[in-house]
Structure 1
């Protein structure tokens, strides 16, 4: 994916934790894909782009990390994760987390999604859920921020096995479907005027400070919800409340979105519900 000289008003740094595999899913299967796929976005206004590297360098310095110059969630001690979360929560940015519990998706095929040329329909579907919310947030601000529509530059964190050109193509096909009035699931739709094919790139995590912030968000919510692969801890994700995006004054189903819906379908254990309850989910109600 190539860079572009086009004008943009926002940058969304996107990362993930977990994997998109559906053929076999733990804990249903003894061996298989992760129970969760968490996709995150950290969104900033373009004028702040030159500041992001300094933000991360300051966090790394304050944490007293000597062995590396980048911020990587999984290498941090529990105490450092909390401190880093507190520092990130003071930055002028907005965070989003799409948390997909995959148990109900085990072996599932989405024939509609598969019609769009791609070898990773489930990952692309989750990217759609994320961009629905990111584009809605930026679209609600662009006139006040710039006096005109200013699109979002998307930067993906490169991970093995994911073809980011297919994710960009998926959004392009959604745009064509919207124009023809044929898009499926209309509760939310990506605000396509905020997206541009030429403003989607993939970069190595170590080369983009913004992606390191997004890694923190994705990994913090993954650790808060997962009880199979990591030692569960909701504290780092809880520290992020000041930056997680709200819609109508609420985090749930916007800045923090749990799938499947309604929330009870996910069949989560009490410990797994804690982080979502902290962000406004009511499992008795939904």
Structure 2
């Protein structure tokens, strides 16, 4: 049986108070949830991969990798290094600027604590579990998926598990278009750990933050899609779900200039 390890981190925030613009501060326009996916064999190598990246920046004086703390040239080097490693990347990207356009009822739901985050969890686990199953099926084997989240302040992981149980047990009011592969993933096995304690979570941070930089406008109104472009070979692809590696929600946001610029580089 194949075993896969999935490490999950986020970039951006879940708030809807005042969204950031090029001439004023505020909360992020995008919330991303991303995963690093490796086989059991390569899971053992993650600390070495992380250490090799940090060894390029000895002046950092610390062992844990935080993408946001790197300079531009260091981010480029880190992404280039990771691009050659056998790790799958999957990122769900929510354009928060579209949510205030919803009906008052729908807006109230999305503004409730944890709702948007848990919805992204659902989409992410649908994609990574399917990608793992498809990879093992090509070799005629079954698989098991292990999931670890980076510990996030303000997230109620008990509520998240209840949401996963609700989906697994078929108690949703509306049948979903697709489902998490519950035959390979058990909600009871999901772990939550500190970023600093697991190299896999630090690699997930790199993947998610690199993608975020290609979507979130900086204070000068620009994005930096180069990091994601360097990782383009790492984004997952499956024939059953278009855009498995990078999913933009809602689809209407695909027309935004910054999103088009990112995908022009990736394609």
Instruction: Quickly name the TM-score band, shorter chain normalised.
Output: 0.7 to 0.9
| Length, aligned pairs only | 264
Mapped to 1, the partners of 2:246 and 2:159 lie a distance apart of 25
Partner residue, 2:120: 126
Shift of 1:23: 4.7
Please list, as runs of the form range in 1=range in 2, the aligned pairs for 1:17-56 lying within 5 A after superposition: 17-27=11-21, 32-56=26-50
CA RMSD of aligned residues (A): 3.0
Contact 1:157–1:202 (Cα < 8 Å) also in 2? yes
Which of these residues, 199, 207, 217, is aligned with residue 189 of structure 2?
A: 199
Shift of 1:110: 6.9
Q: Determine whether 1:245 maps to 2:233.
A: no
Q: Taking structure 1 as reference, are residues 25 and 242 closer, same or farther at Cα in structure 2, changes over 3 Å only?
A: same
Gaps of 5+ in 2: none
Contact 1:73–1:219 (Cα < 8 Å) also in 2? yes
Q: Taking structure 1 as reference, are residues 215 and 181 closer, same or farther at Cα in structure 2, changes over 3 Å only?
A: closer
Shift of 1:46: 1.6
Deviations, residues 116-162 of structure 1 (Å, cap 9, x unaligned)? xx8411110011111111111011123456722x2211100112111
Gaps of 5+ in 1: 1-6, 281-286
Give the TM-score normalised by structure 2: 0.87
Give the TM-score normalised by structure 1: 0.81
Partner residue, 2:208: 218
Q: Secondary structure at the match of 1:9?
A: strand
Shift of 1:170: 1.4
Deviations, residues 262-286 of structure 1 (Å, cap 9, x unaligned)? 444xx62x24431123234xxxxxx
Which of these residues, 221, 224, 235, is aligned with residue 233 of structure 1?
A: 224
Partner residue, 1:90: 84
Q: Taking structure 1 as reference, are residues 25 and 246 closer, same or farther at Cα in structure 2, changes over 3 Å only?
A: same
Shift of 1:98: 0.9
